[in-house]
Amino acid sequence: MTMQFNDETFRGDYTYRNSPEAIRRFPFPFDQDSYMYSVNIEQHPGGPQGSPFEHMFDVDEHYVAEMRDREITLAEDPLRCQSLPHMELAGWDLLELIMVSKARDYPDLFSLTRDGNDWHWVNKPMGIDKRFTFLDAATLPYGPMEYITRQTQGDFALLHERDGNLWMDAGMVTSQADWSLDFDVGMNFFEWHAPVPKARQMGVFDKALKFLLAVGQGQHYRRLNWTMTVNPRLDTSPENYHKWGPEKRTITPENVGHKQFLRVELQTFFRLPRSNALAFPIRCYLASLDDLVTQPKWGRRLHRVLRDIDPDLADYKGFAVNREVIVNYLSQYDDGEPTSPGIFPED
């Protein structure tokens, strides 16, 4: 079955919608009724057929609209995409990984034909048909990282490994949960994570870094992270905080169900072959509370998680001001019944 791509927006009139199918495959991030930071890392890909974990890079109904939104953001602020000079090879590694994966996993949408370094890439949903020379940046309209990430959902960080640490030396970041690539470029793992409460003291970051440094060639992993966003907005950047900030204060008991979104990041890790850099795609999924409560297990569980969450986390994630309205709304969908383990809905 060929995929239908939504004609929708992530700003202004916010016409973003999830089909019933997209809701059922939403990567709900809570496998139990409570939440605290942990080193929640598992193998990737791997998951039920049709889930966002099935393929290396998930392509869904929002693909084309998300790429259009990225184009708007980049036109207004080119610093959302940066690559320090030593990261170009990592960019080619990433381009190869994505093109090979997508052509294999979605043969009716993408194709890649290679004859030595003469490559032919076809991206049907975006109407792109491009011949270029692998490792020759002059044959592409952008650097390799920018070229491929303008065609791939999710933000991307490319990490350079040195001195026993990871350094954020390149990235494409237009759908972030309130952090600035321009500010963070050149930082190491502990520096860019500095604003996160509690996790360092809990040992989460030490363990996570150790794990990431040990990721070898051909191994890939994932974790889920989440926050809350008012309106289905991808660009919740600090750069534009003064533009989207006022929208955060528009939540009422009447509109919370369709205006308040759970924002889930499917984060994956890949060691890259030539550069030995680590690729860190951060794929954003958005579902409104009304979307989520169509799955009774999720309604119950989300209510319990948000009701009981550590106030420092609610503050950091930026939904403390709306928490009461959200929890009151969700309480209607919590009948006190037990929930089953795991993240998937009950059939």
Partner 1 sequence: MPNTVFSPSIESRPTYAGLAPRPGAPAIMVADEAGAAAVTHLATVDATAMAKAHVVLVGAPAETSDALAALSPAAVQTVPDLDTATPIVEQLLSQARMGTQLFLAGSEGLMGHISAIALASGMALEDIQMEHRGSIARRMQCVHCKGITDGVTTDPFTCSHCGLTLFVRDHFSRRLGAFQGVCVDAETPGDIPATEEIRP
**Residues noted as catalytic:** 223
The interface region with ligand HEM, picked from 144-152, 204-212, 295-303, 328-336 by CB under 6 A, is 204-212
CA distance 118 to 133: 5
Rounded to 5 degrees, φ, ψ at 212 are: -65, -40
Among partner 1, ligand HEM, none, what does residue 316 contact (CB within 5–8 Å per kind)? ligand HEM
Asked whether position 280 contacts ligand HEM by CB under 6 A, the answer is yes
The one among 134, 179, 241, 244 contacting ligand HEM by CB under 6 A: 179
Among ligand HEM, partner 1, none, what does residue 128 contact (CB within 5–8 Å per kind)? none
Write the DSSP assignment of 36-54 as a string of letters: ------EESS-SSTTSTTS
When the beta carbons of 93 and 184 are compared against ligand HEM, the nearer one is: 184
Compute the least distance from the CB of residue 183 to partner 1, in Å: 5
Compute the least distance from the CB of residue 84 to partner 1, in Å: 9
Asked whether position 262 contacts ligand HEM by CB under 6 A, the answer is no
The one among 20, 107, 116, 195 contacting ligand HEM by CB under 6 A: 195
When the beta carbons of 6 and 176 are compared against partner 1, the nearer one is: 176
Distances (CA, A) of 244 to 7, 141, 241, 325: 22, 31, 5, 19
Residue with tokens 């990282």, as numbered in its chain: 145
**Is residue 251 within a helix (H) or strand (E), and if so which, with residue range?**
none
Closest CA to 240 of 289, 182, 184, 196: 182
Q: Are 177 and 95 in contact (CB under 8 A)?
A: no
Compute the least distance from the CB of residue 321 to partner 1, in Å: 8
The one among 204, 251, 262, 314 contacting ligand HEM by CB under 6 A: 204
Residue with tokens 């003291």, as numbered in its chain: 201
What's the maximum distance between 2 C-alpha atoms anywhere in the chain? 61
Computed on alpha carbons and rounded to an integer, the radius of gyration of the chain in Å comes to: 20
Among ligand HEM, partner 1, none, what does residue 238 contact (CB within 5–8 Å per kind)? partner 1
**Long-range pairs for 340-347 at CB < 8 Å and ≥24 separation?**
340/297, 341/31, 341/32, 342/31, 343/27, 343/28, 343/29, 343/30, 343/31, 343/224, 344/28, 344/48, 344/51, 345/24, 345/28, 345/295, 345/297, 345/298, 346/295, 346/296, 346/297
Asked whether position 159 contacts ligand HEM by CB under 6 A, the answer is yes
Among ligand HEM, partner 1, none, what does residue 330 contact (CB within 5–8 Å per kind)? none
Residue type, 266: L
Distances (CA, A) of 301 to 21, 30, 297, 306: 20, 8, 6, 9
Asked whether position 84 contacts ligand HEM by CB under 6 A, the answer is no
Asked whether position 286 contacts ligand HEM by CB under 6 A, the answer is no
Compute the least distance from the CB of residue 196 to partner 1, in Å: 9
Asked whether position 193 contacts ligand HEM by CB under 6 A, the answer is yes
Among partner 1, ligand HEM, none, what does residue 291 contact (CB within 5–8 Å per kind)? none
The one among 37, 134, 142, 241 contacting ligand HEM by CB under 6 A: 37
| Length, in residues, of the chain | 347
The interface region with ligand HEM, picked from 42-50, 129-137, 193-201, 328-336 by CB under 6 A, is 193-201
| Site residues, ligand HEM (CB under 6 A) | 37, 39, 157, 159, 166, 168, 177, 179, 184, 192-193, 195-196, 199, 204, 208, 212, 223, 225, 227, 280, 313, 316-317
